[in-house]
């Protein structure tokens, strides 16, 4: 799990060799953009996604996230809600503008904010999944695999 607080970041480990073999190709050919202003969280998520075979881009603020999303057209964005420069909501609004729901890029929003109104607002902007921190990294990867295994336009 990872935490946005001062608690140490912990990476869920995978010990099952079948799981590791499966992960090696699950997202191959896919591009994932990871966005969080906490460098420890960003590093933990990146380390968890590297074995999947996905091409990974990272951003530590909202403006860089929009720039990379426009430049590289990711299949999936893992997006923190609270970001410097441009909030996760503004990033979501920009990258999902005029795109039908359930189309690329899929967006998984992660946040330390427990408010239901934020979740409803994110859903209205086209978020695919919304998780409160702490999030288990294996759950994040499983969700990414599920979203990217479905045909999208």
22 has pLDDT over 80? no
**Is 49 or 98 the better-scoring residue by pLDDT?**
49
Distances (CA, A) of 37 to 51, 67, 112: 22, 15, 13
**Is 102 or 144 the better-scoring residue by pLDDT?**
144
Asked if omega into 134 is within 30° of 0 (cis), the reply is yes
- In the structure encoding, which two tokens stand for residue 66, read together? 């929009």
CATH class of 17-149: alpha beta
Residue 11: its pLDDT value, please?
39
Q: Which residues pair with 58 in a beta bridge?
A: 34
End-to-end CA distance of the chain: 32
Handedness of CA 144, 146, 151, 153 (dihedral sign): negative
What is the C-alpha separation between 124 and 142, in angstroms, rounded? 23
Q: Is 12 within 8 Å of 19 (Cβ atoms)? A: no
Q: What share of the chain is helix, strand, coil (3-state, %, to 5)?
A: 40, 15, 45
pLDDT tier, 152 (very low <50, low <70, confident <90, very high otherwise): low
76 has pLDDT over 60? yes
């Amino acid at each position: 799990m990872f935490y946005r607080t001062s608690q140490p970041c912990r990476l869920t480990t995978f010990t099952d060799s079948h799981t590791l073999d499966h992960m090696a190709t699950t997202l191959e050919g896919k591009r994932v953009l990871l966005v969080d202003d906490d460098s420890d969280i960003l590093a933990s998520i990146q380390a968890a996604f590297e074995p999947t075979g996905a091409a990974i881009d990272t951003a530590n603020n909202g403006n860089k996230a929009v720039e990379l999303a426009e430049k590289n057209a990711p299949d999936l964005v893992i997006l923190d809600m609270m970001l410097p420069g441009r909030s996760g909501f503004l990033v979501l609004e920009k990258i999902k503008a005029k795109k039908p729901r359930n189309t690329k890029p899929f967006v998984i929003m992660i946040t330390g904010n427990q408010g239901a109104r934020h979740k409803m607002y994110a859903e209205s902007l086209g978020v695919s999944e919304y998780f409160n921190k702490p999030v288990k990294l294996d759950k994040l990867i499983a969700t990414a695999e599920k979203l990217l295994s479905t045909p999208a336009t």
